[in-house]
Chain A
Amino acid sequence: MADVRIAQAALGALLACACESPIDDPREIEIVSVITRADRPLTLNRSALVAGKYRLMAADPYAFFRGTFPLYLHDVEAGDLGGETSPYFRAVSPYSVGDAHVENFGTLLGGDGALVVETNDLDGADRYPYLIEVRRLAISAVVATRLSNPDDQGARSVAIGSERENALALARSYADTMRALAAGVAREPIEDAAESPVLADLFDRAEGDLEDRSELAELTILEDGNRRLVRGSVDEDVPENVYVDVPAVVASALPGAIDRYRATLDSPPAAEFFGIKDAVREFGSGVASWPRVRFILLVEGPSKDVEDDILLEVKEIGDSGARPATFETVNGADIRERILRARGYCWTRPNAEPLWGMTDLLGLSMQIKLESEAHKTLRVRRLEEDLGTPEALLALSTDLGRMLANVHAGSEALEPGLLRAIADAVGSDTGGFAEEQSAVAIAYADQVLADHARFAHALDVLGPTLGVTPGDADGHDPDAAALIGTPPEAPE
């Protein structure tokens, strides 16, 4: 009998090792697990930067939405999106934005000086089943509606009253555009605002800053006839957004990286164009890419004149997180090829940003693109006053559906018949398709906002990196540490 008691006590002690979770809510545990798993390499590698990203996500619901694409993919894979199977699903996987959402579209400056609205973030671009991207975009439209008019509760309530209409309009627009494209209508780049107040604002701001070369005024200074990049804070709204000196190891590696980058451009300017005049490490930019290594380069530009100097953004790119969608997919080991293909297939206007290319820097895959104030991104925080009315949001949603269809249409060149397959999947019942996507979008938007509260709570309980902390063996050699850099102290 005593032996039995001893055995029971021993078993109890063993099982007690399986400690209780510090969090009670299963969904909260799930969020923590998915996010920490997705970010683990970065957290172990650069925990202070990941902590900055989580801080941003906890403070802003839309930043949380932007930073949780892995959670969305996880929910899709777990079958937790919409709850039911969809008659509109087909395993048709065009190149797509990857994390299609409102703030991943904006103006790009073409080689001819013209502006066009395209997807302006290819970090997660890859081949995805078309439907999960339509849904992601519709969800973002609903979330954006709910976060619109941040300083006017009444206007926000009115806008929220139209959220279902917005999601319906987006899905209808996607379906109608896709059918037209499948019927042979050419992709139509968005080069003007038409009836959309939000796009009109976007173009107005972009054109104004293009003319002024605002980036030179705001991000550089002229000293004794020489231009250089500023150091310190560059965005008063984001105190952590600062420029600091690049370490010597990076400075010495940049010219080679630029040479390799030039080879990925369709029409590369002369090598002199890319003569590096100055370089800085940028901290505190983006959301999902907040922990990524990012530099800003000041290069010579078309002539020796300091007034036509050019700024380039050099940003580390990681895996997309997409499941292999087809046999001939681009896997995570080939980030460079993934971005270059996405550039070719997703943009409606060929070579919409002629300086967008890829390189590698000290072992990291890096994307280089023009840093210009003419590149304006749709921002949820700007959806207020005239841009936050139900009419403006409806027009924006319609445009987003059209833009995504155009993004997907580019893959027809890669896989003939793809457009017809999507059009067939959507079918002729546009109303039914739109109703389903609208219902999914509203339900998941509820989930996003509830998840945001859960995330903030988990961060409070588990600490700044959700409980994942690097060990002593995770330190870097001096060069790697210099490459990653040390972010400035977070504001209180």
Chain B
Amino acid sequence: MRFSTVLLFFVLLSLSEVAFAQPEPEPEPEPELAVPPVVAEPSQAAPTKPSEPPPLPPPPAVAAPVSPETPPAKPIVDPFSLSGARASFPLVDGLEPFVIEAHLSLFAQYVLSVRDDNGVTDWFHEFEVTRAHARIDAEFEGARARVLVEGVRSATEGALLGVAGDSFILRLREAWAGYTAWDIIETRLGMVPTMTTGPIESLWGMRMVAASGAERAGLLSPADLGGTIRGLFPKGFGWVGVGAYNGEGYSQRELNRGKNIEIATELHPFAFSDAAAPFTVLASYSSGSSGTGLARSDRVSTSLGWQGDVIRGGANFTYAWGNADQGDTLSLLGEGFIRVRPIERLSLGANAVFWKRDLASESDWLVTITGSAGYFIVDPLGIFLAVDGFLLGEQAEQALPPKDDVRFRVIGAVDF
């Protein structure tokens, strides 16, 4: 009964893909801002389909600026979830397949927050920059490297002094070197993206509206210092990987001899079928610790989802042993999300997160519900309206005052 229900679900999703699919005349469709193909989070580069990396185009004899007439260079190994308006330069002698790409990603928003302040409606509004990323990717044959910097407030936690007040400054978010051998083994070393957060966000495809619930809750870090090794399944079936990290995230230094170990996989079990290929299974387990006392910080995360062009969505469950320096606290987070593109350039999304901060407490929970609608004015640029609603259990409300009741946001997102 259950199997047939699942099968019916896939069939319906497949039909919806066919029914809503826009004609794609280009032989090599340019990926759009919010529509990464199958596995397309920039921080999670992995060829899934086709299994063979696309051949690099023959470089021109001399480097030339990219013009509208110049077709964009082939992406490096993974299809980036960007507009395709990247700058690629054959830098050596024009004959070697040496490619460098520059990318920019910027999310900015206006936020109107409203809350009940002991019977009186209070409000606040401000402009924020929620993401400012600039990255350089380089590839030469199987060798790859990336440097990604992000904007961050200078007086965030850990800063003894701000820089010129609390200015935005740039810091490293990723900095790694990697090598892909025989198209099946990929290694990375440096400040690397962890293997759980990116795929979850890619599954929803609305990062400009919100990060994954597990990242927002502080249960998962998107990057850390360490190394990963992944085995890439052929024909787009996904990958399986193992990572070893310091465990303090990318914004703190290492404090103990323990290293976090992450085992993760992303599977597309129906990759053999065009119609069902978007079905995705994510699973990861990380064993780790934080601080000099090695507070336990283990995580299990599983996700099921559909990564279609028209519809994508799914659910994620993250179970945590240890939360916020309390190694003996058990925590559970469940998240459901969906994004629909009923017509070209229009994106509708919804996301609901339920987080039980401490399973031992009945009322220590938070719910965040987000709804959004966005329109891509041009491929790399979209504008979104979002509404967030918050509910807190009594204990969470007393432990984490104050809370917003509703937030209204206008988000501008650009991704080159």
The answer on a CB contact under 8 Å between B325 and A85 is no
Residues from chain A with Cβ under 8 Å of B293 in the complex: 21-23, 28-33, 36, 458, 462, 466-467
In the complex, what residues of A have CB within 8 A of residue B294's CB? 19-23, 29
> Are B113 and A327 in contact (CB-based, < 8 A)?
yes
- A328 contacts B357, CB within 8 Å? no
Query: Is B325 a contact of A34 with CB atoms below 8 Å?
Result: yes
Of all chain B residues, which has the CB nearest A467?
B292
Whether, in the assembled complex, A332 has its beta carbon less than 8 Å from a beta carbon of chain B, the answer is yes
Do A18 and B259 touch (CB < 8 A)? yes
Task: Tell me the residues in window 330-353 of chain B with beta carbons closer than 8 Å to chain A beta carbons.
Answer: none
Interface centre among B165, B259, B291, by most chain A C-beta atoms within 10 angstroms, is B291
Question: A29–B295 contact, CB under 8 A?
Answer: yes
Q: Which of A29, A41, A91, A325 contacts B158 (CB 8 A)?
A: A41
Residue B43 lies at the interface, judged by CB distance under 8 Å to chain A: no
Decide yes or no whether B16 CB sits under 8 A from chain A: no
Kindly state the separation between the CA atoms of A468 and B252 in the bound complex, as whole angstroms.
12
Nearest CB on A from B219, distance (A): 15
Per the bound structure, the CA–CA distance linking A17 and B286 in Å amounts to 12
The reply to whether A30 and B289 form a contact with Cβ atoms under 8 Å apart is: no
Contacts of A86 in B (CB 8 A): 398
The number of residues on chain A lying at the interface, defined by a beta carbon within 8 Å of a beta carbon of chain B, is: 58
Contact B291 A15 (CB under 8 A): no
* Nearest neighbor of B159 in chain A, beta-carbon distance: A41
Residues of B within 8 A of A333 (CB): 153, 155, 162, 165-166
User: Residue A468 contacts which of B292, B364, B396 (CB distance < 8 angstroms)?
Assistant: B292
Q: B376-416, CB under 8 A of A: which get 1 and which 0?
A: 00000000000000000011111111110000000000000
State whether B161 touches A364 (Cβ < 8 A).
Answer: yes
Most chain A CB within a 10 A radius of its CB, from B120, B292, B294: B292
CB-CB under 8 A from B160, the residues of chain A are 41-42, 45, 318
Q: Specify the chain B residue showing the minimal Cβ separation from A127.
A: B402
By beta carbon, the residue of chain A nearest B115 is A327
| Bound Cα distance A89, B161 (Å) | 34
With A91-B118, A333-B166 in contact, do A26 and B327 touch (Cβ < 8 Å)? yes
B216 within 8 A of A: no
**Which of A19, A28, A93, A327 is in CB contact (< 8 Å) with B123?**
A327
Please tell me which one of the listed residues A33, A41, A327, A471 contacts residue B290 in the complex, with CB atoms under 8 A apart: A33
Q: Would you call B166 and A331 a contact (CB within 8 A)?
A: yes
Q: B153, B162, B325, B400: which contacts A30 (Cβ < 8 A)?
A: B325
Partner of A363, one of B158, B161, B403: B161
CB of B146, distance to nearest CB on chain A (Å): 23
Find residues 258-309 in chain B having any chain A CB closer than 8 Å to their own CB: 258-261, 287-296
Residues of B within 8 A of A129 (CB): 401
Given contacts A23-B293, A74-B324, A466-B293, 19 further A-B contacts (CB under 8 A): A15-B261, A15-B287, A19-B257, A21-B327, A29-B296, A30-B295, A32-B292, A32-B295, A33-B295, A74-B325, A79-B357, A79-B361, A85-B363, A91-B117, A93-B401, A333-B153, A333-B155, A333-B162, A467-B293
